[in-house]
Amino acid sequence: MAKESQRAKKEQRKLEVAKRREELDLANADNDHIIYGLFHNTMFLRIYDSTMDHFHNNKLVQAMRFGQNLVFDCSYDSYMNEKEMRNTAKQLMLCFGINRLHNEPFNVHHCNADFGSSTMVSLRKHLAQMDEPAFPINVTERSYLDLFPKERLVYLTPHCKNDLNEFSPDDVYIVGAMVDKSSQEAISLGKAKKLGLRMARLPLDRYFQFKSGKSLTLDQMLLILLELKGSNDFERALEHVPKRKIVPVDEQQQEQEQRFRERKQMGKFKFSAGSFHSERKFKKRY
């Protein structure tokens, strides 16, 4: 079905190109000069979409051989409803595209995958070539414990107390592939503890004051990790945190000033009340 759709789109593009060429020929029929541009004289080669696809896919192939490994743990289907699983698949598709376009992509592994689950079925709809052997994606039913040494694994979970202070190129970071808007249970924390894995969280509180929840989407996590891999600069990496979740600097200053004024007023009240009490004692004694 996907191949037929691609073939139809290709034929449609051919017809559009032929029509455009006819229009240009008619418009320039009376022109005796050299015409520069597409379909005419030009010193540049046209770069086709297929050429760009081969270029980006080749980067992923190189990452599979030499790149740093990153794991999406796809074992959370039982904790999500149908809508959340479809949303997870959409975010995994976005992650594939973001990683593919990056200059130095991760070698991403989708571990603990259940190929019959709604997450994988939806992901297959987004990435129609996913099951083809030549397609540069790693999806496996195996656990990351079977693929990598346990001492190199680091589970990224927002519920632990250990901040990720430095990004290590030797570690294999694990991100839970889960979208759960109904509850904020520390499921990934419990899983990491049960498996005896090292844990870390992004140092969000060190740089931001949040309006509400600190949950990030999978694609936002990937953007942060890609920046950390390239620069190890947390300030630059955390620029990918959505602005709508952060209290602006001016609001933070106003809030701090308001707290300072309230404390100052409370201090004055205590002082004046204490003075009044002392004055009454003084009058009684003398």
**Model confidence pLDDT, tens digit, residues 6-44:** 788 888 888 988 888 788 777 777 777 777 776 667 777
- At residue 278 the predicted structure's pLDDT band, cuts being 50, 70 and 90, is very low
| Residue 155 β-bridge partners | 174, 199
CATH number at residue 77: 3.40.1280.30
Quick check: 156 and 164 in contact, CB under 8 A?
Answer: yes
Quick check: 156 and 73 in contact, CB under 8 A?
Answer: no
Query: Is the torsion defined by CA of 10, 11, 12, 13 positive or negative?
Result: positive
Domain range enclosing 173 = 67-245
Cβ-based neighbours of 227, under 8 Å, separated by 6 or more: 233, 236, 237, 239, 240
Split into its structural domains, the chain has a count of: 1
How deeply is 207 buried, as exposed, middle or buried, from its count of CB atoms within 10 A (0-12, 13-18, 19+)? Answer: middle
In angstroms, the CA 2 to CA 183 distance is 37
Q: Give domain status of residue 219, yes or no.
A: yes
pLDDT at 245: 76
Which residue type does 257 have? E
Mean pLDDT of the chain: 85
Q: Give domain status of residue 103, yes or no.
A: yes
Chain segment 164-181, per-residue pLDDT in tens: 999 999 999 999 999 876
Q: Degrees (nearest 5) of the Cα angle 5, 130, 152?
A: 160
Q: Give domain status of residue 60, yes or no.
A: no
- What average pLDDT does this structure show over 52-81? 95
Chain segment 109-168, per-residue pLDDT in tens: 999 999 999 999 999 999 999 999 999 999 999 999 999 999 999 999 999 999 999 999
DSSP state, 115? Answer: T
Strands (E), the chain: 69-73, 107-111, 138-139, 153-156, 172-176, 198-200
pLDDT at 168: 96
Q: Percentage of the chain with pLDDT > 90?
A: 57
- At residue 258 the predicted structure's pLDDT band, cuts being 50, 70 and 90, is low
In angstroms, the CA 212 to CA 209 distance is 9
Of 184, 196, 116, the residue nearest 149 (C-alpha):
196
Of 231, 221, 226, the residue nearest 105 (C-alpha):
226
- What average pLDDT does this structure show over 190-195? 95
b or e along 33-63 (b: 16 or more beta carbons within 10 Å of the residue's beta carbon)? eeeeeeeeeeeeeeeeeeeeeeebbebbeeb
pLDDT at 30: 72
Quick check: 178 and 79 in contact, CB under 8 A?
Answer: yes
Quick check: 238 and 204 in contact, CB under 8 A?
Answer: yes
Q: Give domain status of residue 151, yes or no.
A: yes
